[in-house]
Homo-oligomer: A and B are copies of this chain.
């Protein structure tokens, strides 16, 4: 598979690149960003996947999460995928939280979404292969994190494929989408009204049923504007009921913005680095 380089910028001694490719999974061109630390010139490095939230492209976290410096210091790569397929041929909705920018990290089974909204397949299978074919990342040392809808993606993917993702964390994840305005609408649109199919995409349910073999780090701000939709209490309850190793941190006064993400990014990067190196 070929990769088109859209830009490469020196950053903290490494390289922040933006690339485009034709995706088999989505049937569209897809754009993603990767930070490669300087040490990757000499050896394959661990990689941390950062899944972004509603309305985001590959660009938001790349520019606003402040991750590069910590990845450079830790010697790990970070990949910033897009959150949905894009293009004129791709179905969309006028709402910000359905369709483009809102793929929810599922493989849609319902029309009009089914032809292109195959983001689970894209993130879990296609993109890791593409990135490791083209850049010096080590697919045996992958961790995953994300923010909001991306935190939902990171948790559900890691709990489903703990063999592939050796570490997991999340920033203000959509924690219980089956019971939330951020979830019911999208899971219904993409997967249909049969709620049994939603269970594989609800971090709280997966936590209750499976958990994760390693420890899990979750950060959530107390001043988050979307607490009622995120439902951290449901995930924390499932996590602690299970005695799942890990930390669920309620950070006083932090909201849902990248200022929150940026503040706790070093903790997350080093959390993953310690488990991947």
Give residues in A with beta carbon < 8 Å to B.
9-13, 16, 63-64, 66, 68-69, 221, 223, 251-255, 257-260, 262-263
Contacts and interface: CB of A to CB of B under 8 A. Distances in A.
A223 B223 CA distance: 41
Contacts of A258: 63
Find the residue from A16, A221, A252, A263 having the highest chain B CB count within 10 A.
A263
Contacts of A257: 9
B63 A11 contact: no
A263 B64 contact: no
Contacts of A9: 223, 254-255, 257, 259-260
Find the residue from A64, A252, A259 having the highest chain B CB count within 10 A.
A259
Number of copies of this protein chain within its complex: 2
B221 A11 contact: no
A69 B10 contact: no
A69 B12 contact: no
Given A12-B263, A69-B263, 8 more contacts: A9-B257, A9-B259, A10-B221, A10-B255, A12-B262, A63-B63, A63-B258, A66-B69
Contact of A259 (B11, B254, B255, B263): B11
The 8 closest A-B pairs by CB, nearest first: A11-B259, A10-B253, A9-B259, A10-B254, A66-B66, A63-B64, A12-B263, A9-B255
7 contacts: A10-B221, A11-B262, A11-B263, A16-B259, A66-B69, A68-B262, A68-B263
Contacts of A254: 9-10
Contacts of A69: 66, 262-263
A263 B223 CA distance: 30
Nearest to A222: B10
Contacts of A221: 10
A68 B221 CA distance: 17
A7 B253 CA distance: 13
B259 A10 contact: yes
Contacts of A251: 10
Contacts of A262: 11-12, 66, 68-69
Nearest to A252: B10
Contacts of A68: 259, 262-263
Contacts of A252: 10
Find the residue from A16, A66, A223, A252 having the highest chain B CB count within 10 A.
A66
Nearest to A12: B263
A105 B91 CA distance: 45
A264 to B, nearest CB: 9
